[in-house]
Each structure stands twice: as structure tokens, then as C-alpha cells.
Amino acid sequence: MALQTLKTLCNYVGNQATAASEEYLEVTSPHDGNTIAMVPLSTAEDVDVAVTSAKAAFGAWSGLTFKARSAYLLKLYVELQAHAEELAELVVLEHGKNMAEARGDVAKGLETLEYALSLPQLTQGRVAYVSNGVQCRDERVALGVVGGIVPFNFPFMVPFWTIPIALGMGNTYVLKPSEKVPMTMTRVA
């Protein structure tokens, strides 16, 4: 994949690109040291905006059925599968992995998304009658906003260890990818 122009990245909040901090950091290619993107150095205010948006979305999102949330995750899976090669190319560009490793990074992340598609069957809860008139109930419920701060070593796989499961369970999510490899997850957004 040839990067035509230097890309200035932004934050995504509520499915909208947001004007982030006015300070940016260069993202450099480990292959040749060239600057390939500029990533915003987000401020505490930027984080507050993202968390406030995630809190506002929580009620509607967690109010959906497992089936409805899984339908959204399935659409995400299909879209990511269609762009898996492009995502692997971004991993190569920004991280320096070879193509086989980058494809593996994307494939392993997609495996977790596949697993999350089975959450409606895995999280049905249980009731155990432990004594006369006494029962124990196991229920899985959404907790709220989940935050993920992820390292640089697997730009796609590590965020996808938590994103699909958190979303599938009805939580909302705020992700802070590594400033060294932000392009892959920005593309996902």
C-alpha cells in the first residue's frame, strides 16, 4: 500500500471525527524513519469528551438485546474481513512487522470478534437451586464504559482482545491506541 500524502489522524467520538488537541506527534515508519502520519496528543479534556459520549451512548446500547448487538458485531466482522489485507498493510507500515506477521495480527484479532458473536449463547446465565427455597443466580450484565489503553506490539490484535467482548456484553468503549501505531485502529474507527 502506497501512502500518498502525510496523514493527520484525529480522534473519533460518537462516530464523528473530532478536532483533537492542537499538538501532534510524528508517527514514523520503522522501515526507513520517515514520518508517515501525525497523531494528536490528546488532552484530559479530549478524554472527558470521549468518556462523556460513551456514557451517553451506554443506555441505548446496553438496552439492545444480545441478538441486536451481535448483529452489529457481525457487520463489523464482515467489514473488517473485507479490509483485512489493508489493515495488515497498515500494520506493516506503522509497526514494521513482515506481511505474514501482520496478517496473523489481524487474523487473531478477528478470532476474538468471532468468539464475541457467540456471546448470546455463552452468557445466558444460570440459576442453581442450592437449598429448599434458596437459589443462586448467575447473570451477566453490562457495567458501563470500558477503557482500553493498548501497547504498540500488536496494533490490531490487542485492542480486539477486549473491544468485541465489551461491546457484545452491552458496554461502551473508549480506546487509546499506542501513539507509535495509531493508524490501524484509526482505520478501524
Dump pLDDT digits (tens) for 8-46. 898 999 888 886 678 999 999 999 999 999 999 999 999
Distance in angstroms (rounded) separating the CA atoms of residues 188 and 77: 11
C-alpha cell recorded at residue 91: 500494520
Q: What does the CA dihedral 74, 80, 84, 90 come to, rounded to 10 degrees?
A: -150
Q: Give pLDDT, residue 21.
A: 75
Per the listing, cell 465489551 goes with: 166
Residue 5 has what pLDDT? Answer: 55
Cell 466482522, located at residue: 77
Interval 117-162: pLDDT, tens: 998 888 777 888 888 888 888 778 899 999 999 999 999 999 999 9
pLDDT of residue 79: 97
pLDDT, tens digit, 9 for 90 and up, residues 49-101: 999 999 999 999 999 999 999 999 999 999 999 999 999 999 999 999 999 99
Task: For residue 162, give the H/E element and its range.
Answer: none
Confidence of residue 3 (pLDDT cuts 50, 70, 90): very low
What pTM, to 2 d.p., does this model score? Answer: 0.88
Distance, in Å, from the CA atom of 184 to the CA atom of 128, rounded to the nearest integer, reads: 45
